[in-house]
Structure 1
Amino acid sequence: MTDCEAPFYRAVGDEVDVFRAAARRGLPVLLKGPTGCGKTRFVEAMAHELGRDLITVAGHEDMTSADLVGRFLLKGGETVWVDGPLTRAVREGAICYLDEVVEARQDTTVVIHPLADHRRELSIDRLGATLTAAQGFQLVISYNPGYQSVLKNIKESTRQRFVAIELDFPPVEIETEIVAHEAGIAVETARALVKLGNAIRSLDGSPLREVASTRLLILAGGLVAEGLTLRTAVQAAIVRALSDDREIVRALGELADAVLPPT
């Protein structure tokens, strides 16, 4: 791993200690939490602390096992084998982070099972080979249990191979610190954004599929740092980003006007 500044991550509970212990044992980790709560940043920070390379794969419904393991490709008139990201991590002893893994087909995720138990092996059927994971390899997967449907959930045979860490939106003071640091804005402005974020998250009977994440608050803060007014930034990065429905957008705008400090 190249020598660079550590990714900023503010611990909320015991997640850092649990991850360190799992890493020492080479145990796979399952991160659960809502979209934009800091799961990816957490993995980046832990990879940096442990001195491990990090290979990230975004899960999607068209993902196949070949996308993870590798495939034969035609190069210069010859057919050559090209490792997929999971295979590279296994060979190099890196952390492989499968983000939103349940978006992939379940028959695809089965390929990780031998890596997520005592065998620590990856079978590459097309090569007729089985790789033993190099020292330092660790498998990390994430998903949002409040977003995926019943038809897109982690199978029990997969879930019970992992140490689980549950992340959520941070408490007000910690989230304020995060937003101020990441967006480069004053603490008072960050606190106003966090207050709005919590107001949206607390709406009764909310029609929103996703609430205002820490990520969205940072995006709004970034626009403020570029000279936009707080309300303009909130409209662009939060209100309009959360819904296309005009009535919902109007209601969110009214909520923002009620929660944000007067201009």
Structure 2
Amino acid sequence: MTPKSFSIAKTFDLEGIPEKLTVRGYTERTSFVPAVDPAYRFRKELLSDLLAWHMLGGTEGLYLTGPTGSGKSTLITQAAARLNISVQRVTAHSRLETPELIGHYALVNGSMSFVDGPLTIAMRQGHWFLLDEIDLLDPATAAGLNGIVEGAPLVIPEKGGEMVFPALGFAFIATGNTAGSGDQTGLYQGTLRQNLAFLDRFWMVEVGYPTAEQETMILAQAAPTIPEEIRKGMISYAAEVRKLFLGGQIEVTLSTRTLVRWAKLAEFFRPMAAQGINPLHHALERALSFRAEPESRSALSEIVQRIFGG
């Protein structure tokens, strides 16, 4: 891969950044480089943390923590997309074991061959390894990754103890809804308290929901035909729903992803207004309300009635 310097201001479409500030990436795009979402808008404060970690070599792990749908993984994949950085992405679960990450023997062209797993591929080829929902991982399995996170070689017992040394560019990134200390709120079922020695190997970055101003810009781009006052009401609605969610009063939340889905559906269903159907309410049910419990649906309905009326 041929290294390339990218202007931070131009690459990430940020104002107030000197043109001379650059970040390293690559000239070529591989099949593992995420697709660019042209509508994605970077938050300067979060991008600053990510690029600082990247420019310092990514020799320690990076752990992004925050509520569901706040954009943790998307920040990583969209930054990688613009820098032509390949990403191996895995979603953790309680039964995930290290061999699933390292690889396994499989029948290939009539004979048994060892097939590298996503972690091994990332280390051999210098990719970013992104482990989503890491707080669902069994702490014993996570602790087995201690050396990998800080750059130690990977040992493959199935191949006679072969050692895979991390290629230039390899880095370990994790995301989770908790900071690895377990869930005290009851909002994230299945999350587990992680080993302190494992967590000590990571930079920690807290990712909250975008500000109202940022979400206003996101909605204006995602659903430009919706009137500005309606978009502002949708953002106010999202803020109230999130407050109830974080307070443990309802079991669903309205992430930026869901907010955009609601806006796009509302645009699509606008013609239904001629049939006496409120497109905002109709779209909200399909974007969010139908996955809520009956009591939560009542609360969601009350808020939308108060903000938008019938």
Contact 1:7/1:41, CA 8 A, preserved across alignment:
no
* Counterpart for residue 216 of structure 1: 258
Provide the rounded CA distance (Å) in 2 between the counterparts of 1:159 and 1:183. Answer: 40
Provide the rounded CA distance (Å) in 1 between the counterparts of 2:63 and 2:142. Answer: 13
Contact 2:139/2:193, CA 8 A, preserved across alignment:
no
Provide the rounded CA distance (Å) in 2 between the counterparts of 1:6 and 1:135. Answer: 26
Q: Which secondary structure state, in structure 1, belongs to the residue aligned with residue 145 of structure 2?
A: helix
Displacement of 1:149:
5.9
Contact 1:61/1:105, CA 8 A, preserved across alignment:
yes
Displacement of 1:206:
4.1
Displacement of 1:36:
0.4
Which ranges of 4 or more aligned residues in structure 1 deviate by more than 6 Å?
Answer: none
Contact 1:98/1:140, CA 8 A, preserved across alignment:
yes
Q: Is 2:22 aligned against 1:10?
A: no
Contact 1:177/1:187, CA 8 A, preserved across alignment:
no
* Counterpart for residue 9 of structure 2: none
Displacement of 1:88:
0.8
* Counterpart for residue 248 of structure 1: 296
Provide the rounded CA distance (Å) in 2 between the counterparts of 1:148 and 1:247. Answer: 19
| Residue pairs, 1:50-199, within 5 angstroms | 50-117=83-150, 119-127=151-159, 128-145=161-178, 147-148=187-188, 152-183=192-223, 186=226, 188=228, 189-199=230-240
Contact 1:184/1:221, CA 8 A, preserved across alignment:
no
Provide the rounded CA distance (Å) in 1 between the counterparts of 2:282 and 2:42. Answer: 31
CA deviation string 1:153-199 (max 9, x = no partner): 23211111011111001110101222333455536243222111101
Q: Which secondary structure state, in structure 2, belongs to the residue aligned with residue 211 of structure 1?
A: coil
Q: What is the letter of the counterpart of residue 168 of structure 2?
A: Q
Displacement of 1:259:
1.6
By relative contact order (CA 8 Å, sep 6+), the higher-ranking structure is 1
Displacement of 1:123:
2.0
TM-score normalized by the length of structure 2: 0.76
| Residue pairs, 1:30-41, within 5 angstroms | 30-41=63-74
CA deviation string 1:100-120 (max 9, x = no partner): 012122232234211212x43
Displacement of 1:21:
1.9
Provide the rounded CA distance (Å) in 2 between the counterparts of 1:179 and 1:100. Answer: 27
Of all paired residues, the percent bearing the same amino acid is: 26
Contact 1:176/1:187, CA 8 A, preserved across alignment:
no
Contact 1:69/1:87, CA 8 A, preserved across alignment:
yes
Displacement of 1:150:
8.9
Q: What is the letter of the counterpart of residue 120 of structure 1?
A: A
Q: 5+ residue gaps in structure 1?
A: none
In 2 relative to 1, CA 60–100 (structure 1 residues): closer, same or farther, beyond 3 Å? same
In the comparison of the two structures, how many residue pairs are matched?
Answer: 259
Provide the rounded CA distance (Å) in 1 between the counterparts of 2:227 and 2:167. Answer: 44
Q: What is the letter of the counterpart of residue 134 of structure 2?
A: V
CA RMSD between the two structures: 2.4
Larger Rg: 2
Q: Which secondary structure state, in structure 2, belongs to the residue aligned with residue 10 of structure 1?
A: coil
* Counterpart for residue 230 of structure 1: 280
Provide the rounded CA distance (Å) in 1 between the counterparts of 2:51 and 2:237. Answer: 34
Displacement of 1:30:
0.4
Contact 1:8/1:45, CA 8 A, preserved across alignment:
no
Displacement of 1:14:
2.4
Provide the rounded CA distance (Å) in 2 between the counterparts of 1:248 and 1:12. Answer: 31
Q: 5+ residue gaps in structure 2?
A: 1-28, 271-278
